[in-house]
Amino acid sequence: MSVINKNLEEDVEQSAFEKIKHINEFDNEYWSARELSSLLEYSEFSKFKKVLEKAIESCKNSGYNDLDHIAQVGEMVGIGSGAKRNITDYHLSRYACYLIVQNADPTKEVVAKGQTYFASLILNRSRSFIAF
């Protein structure tokens, strides 16, 4: 393994993006849209939903079924004094996260780093296909 590939693998394992990854009961990875919105420094989920909607449109326009990559779910969260309420969240595939980062606000440093993160993954994978 080259030094570049080893360093990339270490960066992937240590990235904030990978730290918020979940694994479901079927051993599939997914990310919470609410957690990703916080990571990308969106102060309001309603603003992040605009980015999510662009990602859904990009997914469809790429010929993929958006429901395979973005699943709406309900979650019960505590609101104080032991009470709970249902909120809407979305479970996202890695591809959906990529589309979100590409459509997010590029003036945010964390978004620029996210775009670089995904670009690095793509470049690394394409190199592994052509390496003999």
Q: Which two tokens stand for residue 127?
A: 């190199």
Give, rounded to a whole angstrom, the gap between the first and last alpha carbons of the chain.
Answer: 12
Instruction: Write down the pLDDT at residue 22.
Output: 95
Between 5 and 82, whose confidence is greater? Answer: 82
Burial of 59 (0-12, 13-18, 19+ CB in 10 A): buried
Instruction: Write down the pLDDT at residue 81.
Output: 80
Residue with tokens 């996202």: 92
Spatial neighbors of 17 by CB under 8 A, at least 6 apart, are 31, 39, 97, 114, 117
Flag whether pLDDT at 9 surpasses 60. Answer: no
- Over residues 92-104, the pLDDT tens digits come to 999 999 999 999 9
User: How much is the CA Rg of the chain, to the nearest whole Å?
Assistant: 16
Instruction: Write down the pLDDT at residue 83.
Output: 86
Average pLDDT over residues 84-94: 91
Instruction: Write down the pLDDT at residue 3.
Output: 44
**Full strand arrangement of the beta sheet holding 29-32:** 22-23, 29-32, 83-92, 70-80
Between 13 and 18, whose confidence is greater? Answer: 18
Q: What is the pTM of this model?
A: 0.79
User: Which DSSP symbol is given to 90?
Assistant: E
Instruction: Write down the pLDDT at residue 127.
Output: 52
- Over residues 32-85, the pLDDT tens digits come to 999 999 999 999 999 999 999 999 999 999 999 999 999 999 888 788 788 888
The band of 20, judged by pLDDT with boundaries at 50, 70 and 90, is very high
Average pLDDT over residues 17-45: 94
